[in-house]
Structure 1
Amino acid sequence: MYNVLKLNKIAAIGTDRLGADYSCADSVENPDAILVRSASMLDMEFGSNLLAIARAGAGTNNIPKDKCAEQGIVVFNTPGANANAVKELVLAGLLLSSRKVVEGIEWAKTLKGNGDAVGKMVEKGKSQFVGPEIMGKTLGVIGLGAIGILVANAADALGMKVVGFDPFVSVPNALRLNPDVTLLKSAEEVMTSCDYLTIHVPLTPETKDMVDAETIAKMKDGVRILNYSRDGLVNADAVLEALKSGKVAKYVTDFGNDKLLCEENVIVLPHLGASTPESEDNCAVMACDQVKEYLENGNIINSVNYPAVSLPRSGDKRICVMHKNVPERISDALSGVTVVGMLTKNRGDYAYTIVDVKGDADADKLAAVDGVIKVRVL
């Protein structure tokens, strides 16, 4: 029996897939796995039984990934599960940034109580909300992962010229990109060539404040910037100054802070990117499937702190070894064991090895190897 702790509400369509061998609840002592959405785990202490944490979503800034790696705890996320939901909201943001829809709605509310005069007042006042069409304009997309590609392809279908950049774009993602989308050589080249800019990258020390006073100064006058990725990618002070000068025409973000709220030409949404029932279901299913596969078979899919390692089962037993990047020591410890399948991969300083054997293997001998963090026998 595996015990699974839920720190947030996780859709039953996901947890039901775990099956009868799992106890999944909001309060669990020393769980084998944790399912989480937005709850902060940064100050949590983890029990010795904990093997996996699955974030039902893409971002993992609420999880101490390095600490988990040191303790042999695999952290999973669910990339792509909420991609369509975010894509749709980005498309809404493109239109909101152009057509002054929000301002028009708020103004229309002020006409309440004017009876039959409302129609004439609307016709007289609507010119103050004129805004350009997006068709024929250039959209710059920085980050061509699961979300960025959907956004780029959708904008292309709407008649926009789309340029993009991603230094780490995968071959499968590149093949999904519409051929009309132009790939540029740098993020700066994208920023300087677009009328609309949307960012879809993780927040790291390298990407923090990637849109700041210096980069904004190189952009087109009247550029419209959208941030549905992470707070901290766009420097709030810089964008507010650029809005005052007219350098930036509009800033739309899913991540509000006190500086941005109620500012002219800023549209702040309350982190609605993945807030659809379909997205929540997709994330729950992917998170639970990944946890189940790891706990039962040792295969790692979509981890953010350990390498992706999957091996079809063979032999009598499977040994799973979390270790520092010293695979030769693992091989030495298996001397005399009949190995029928083995796969090792590393991610930075950490590595993971799956070994299928005939007969028994001395797990204690493996655990005693310098650099080994955790050993499981399945």
Structure 2
Amino acid sequence: MLKIIDKYILKRYLITFTVMLLMFIPIGIVIDVSEKINKILANKVPFIEVASYYLDFTIYFANLLFPIFLFLSVIWFTSKLANNTEIIAILSSGISFTRFMRPYIIGATTVSLFALIMSVYLVPSASLGFLSFRYRYLNSYAKNAKGDQTNVLRQISKDEYIYVSSFNDISKMAFNFSMEKFKDEKLEYKLTASRLKYNAKDSTYTLFNYTKRKVGVLNDIIESGEKKDTVFNFDLDDLTPVVYIAETLPLQELNKFIDKERQRGSSNINVYLVVLYKKYSLPVSAFILTIIAVAVSSMKRRGGMGMNLAIGIILAFAFVFLDKVFGVLAEASSAPPMLAVWTPNIVFGILAIYLLRNAKR
């Protein structure tokens, strides 16, 4: 059974974190509204869709930034404990620093489990609503055809590639479609069409103003026409941006999607793996940042809370910087995605051990 001091610290941990979220998320919403209100009014977006967008916005960014909010909230209330000499009193009573950290670890476990459940079940749905709204109403290229998604290049099998200049998810229409088939690293045929429409009733596609050029040994064979119904071996989701797909899939569907892309030999597999691994790395970072926050702010400093917060903000920006750099590195290079995604946690984990040892002294 938790002792009084454990309940006291755990209560402060969870309440301060919740208040931090409730303070900063409305600020983020206000800033986002001020930046996008002109486009929302110009596109005459229904109020219910705007309200739904900002609900998804709240879930999306709360999940994305919760380690930073948690880190700053722990520094804030632990610094207050240190300035009020409460920590000195606790440690002077014979409680070890490791035992003192127990309620912090319990709090980090609670928040991490909640964040993991959110990332598996709630965040994909919120990401779908959030990103769909942005593509439909807020992107500058969505002028006449709302919902366009531009310049999508996908590898759908080992030797086949498709490209569309834009895709409208309302009409299920792709524009400037092309498909290339290679054999032994040589072009076998290329199919182009001004438009490609998906027919949901029978899962077929309709080509408009199409041309198919089959490369021959001596002469090419060209087939063209105004309209043709056909079947392709790619899904409708293949016409959407790669990250857009990965971020909106629940965990089981994301794993199946990644397996399918591996079999296809997709060159974008690292992008999907980064999204998958971050579902697990972000909750773990709550533990690491909690340990660092306690180690930094448990000592009473000459600069008081201001000095602890300054150190905390510097470390928070350093964590975000590493997370972004290694995430982009994994997506744009041959670096192992798992190592790249977990590198910030590894680096800050080592820092946490070092700071914790100094704090115990």
| TM superposition score normalised by structure 1 | 0.24
Structure (1 or 2) with the greater strand fraction:
1
The one of the two structures with greater contact order (alpha-carbon pairs below 8 A, sep at least 6) is: 2
